[in-house]
Amino acid sequence: MRVLLHTGKGGVGKTSLAVATALGAATHGHRVFLLSTDSAHSVGDALGRPVGPDPVEIAPGVTAQEVAAQAELERSWGAIQSWLRALLLDGGDAIAAEEMLVLPGLEELVSLRAVRAVESAGLHDVCVVDCAPTGATLRLLRLPDVLRSLMDRFWTWKRRTARALRPVAERVGLGRFVAPEIVFDAFETLYQDVESVRQIFLDEARTSARLVVNPARVVVDETRRSYAYLCLYGVATDAVIVNRMLPDAVSRGYFARWAAREREELADIERSFPLPILRAPLFPHELRGADALRALASAVYGERDPAELFVRRRPLRLAKRGERTVLSLDLPTARQDEIDVWVRGDELWVGVRDFERRIALPASIAGLDVAETRLEEGVLEVAFEAAPAVS
């Protein structure tokens, strides 16, 4: 199943373009599921009709759903949160506890499990996702590494220890300080669910992000950073959609300066993103309803199938160069002085500004020293020393 993730800075029009992409894909004969995981759902607003937590057909060949994020969060995190609330606050403000005891990005991530459910049902060819704005999307990209690190380094040992200590703690009245088995079960289920979603995201043959941007400096700057972070976390991006382009007719007169500035931003977008740049004009009316959004799809994609994979490129690659193995990671828009690289055990850690990613290394290079790192034309290359000869 093809998965298309639409994200962008709040207010750029990503929801309208996600709906337009879904409707456009349906006109090419695809069975499409449109999924909103943004907590501020607006798919129904864009269509001018109700769309809720239950799947509903919104057009021939298109089913839509706005995920009930709070219900998904309660199902995944409820047992863990209840124990932590009782342990840490002991009768304190329950609402404050609920806000404090949710990992950043968790709400968005558990909502995206709905993508896996759509795929498992086997009834659709394409799943178009209206994601949360870029800030929340980047938080959810970081979370799987956090959970995996906790699971690998801590959780199994903690569970064994809890099983040994629980009888003693209960006898002396301290049982609430030892997590019950239901908490460990809930965490392991959450971890497995997150990993399954992560594997869908990392499959560049079927999953692509599409970045929605307006030709304005503050939006372009944020989108440039977002693209680098998507590459850092291994999510392939196959297009940038420039939304609300001014028509040529207003390039003179009152809007002449706006039009000139817009041309400058468009040139910067084309320099910054080595991807297909799709354009959506500023329409003379509000785009609301299926017919208007089909017109938007036609303006953006023309005769092309919106479900097409526009670029096939793995953000993370391994190759042999002589005796050395080189790991290449796309980091467009990043600068050399913003990047840190270090090895910890059998993992390579890459930091870009305030984001980090841990990359599990294959056995053939795990434990080898890094010989050289360099950033060239938006690609970070990490060369590992040759493995010692076996005597």
Domain locations in the chain as residue ranges: 1-313, 316-384
Residue holding tokens 């047992």?
79
Higher local confidence (pLDDT), 177 or 84: 84
* Distance, CA of 216 to CA of 266 (rounded, Å): 9
Stretch 99-120: mean pLDDT: 71
| Predicted local distance difference test score (pLDDT) of residue 190 | 75
Quote the pLDDT of residue 161.
64
Q: What is the structure's pLDDT at 167?
A: 63
- Residue owning tokens 């400058």: 264
Q: Which two tokens stand for residue 73?
A: 């969060």
Q: What percent of the residues of the chain are helix, what percent strand, and what percent coil, each to the nearest 5?
A: 45, 25, 30
Separation between Cα atoms, residue 103 and residue 100, nearest integer Å: 8
| Long-range contacts of residues 144-151, Cβ cutoff 8 Å, at least 24 apart | 144/109, 144/194, 144/195, 144/198, 145/356, 145/357, 145/358, 146/103, 147/190, 147/191, 147/194, 148/191, 148/195, 148/358, 149/358, 151/187, 151/188, 151/191
Stretch 71-88: mean pLDDT, rounded? Answer: 61
Confidence of residue 126 (pLDDT cuts 50, 70, 90): very high
Burial 179-216 (b: 16+ CB within 10 A, else e): beeebbebbeebbebbeebbebbbebebbbbbbbbbbe
Average pLDDT, the chain: 83
Q: How far is CA 285 from the centre of its chain?
A: 31
Per DSSP, helices labelled H in the chain are 14-27, 43-47, 69-88, 94-100, 106-111, 113-121, 134-150, 156-171, 181-201, 217-232, 256-272, 290-301
Q: How far apart are CA 314 and CA 204, in angstroms?
A: 6
CA dist 341 to 75, 142, 146, 336, Å? 37, 17, 18, 11
Q: The domain 316-384: what is its CATH number?
A: 2.60.40.790
DSSP state of 250: G
Q: How confident is the model at residue 152 (pLDDT cuts 50, 70, 90)?
A: low
* Residue the block writes with tokens 């390579």: 348
Least confident of 183-197, 247-261, 292-306, 358-372: 183-197
Lowest average pLDDT, out of 62-66, 84-88, 120-124, 336-340, goes to 84-88
List beta partners, residue 379: 330, 376
Fold of 1-313: Rossmann fold (3.40.50)
Angle at 148 between CA 110 and CA 189, to 5 degrees: 50
Residue 301's pLDDT is: 97
Q: pLDDT for 212-238, tens place per residue?
A: 999 999 999 889 888 888 888 888 999
Write down the pLDDT at residue 345.
82
Q: Which position has the higher pLDDT, 192 or 306?
A: 306
Q: Is 180 helix (H, G, I), strand (E, B) or coil?
A: coil
Sheet-wide strand order for 379-384: 316-321, 324-330, 379-384, 370-376
Tokens in use for 283?
């329409």
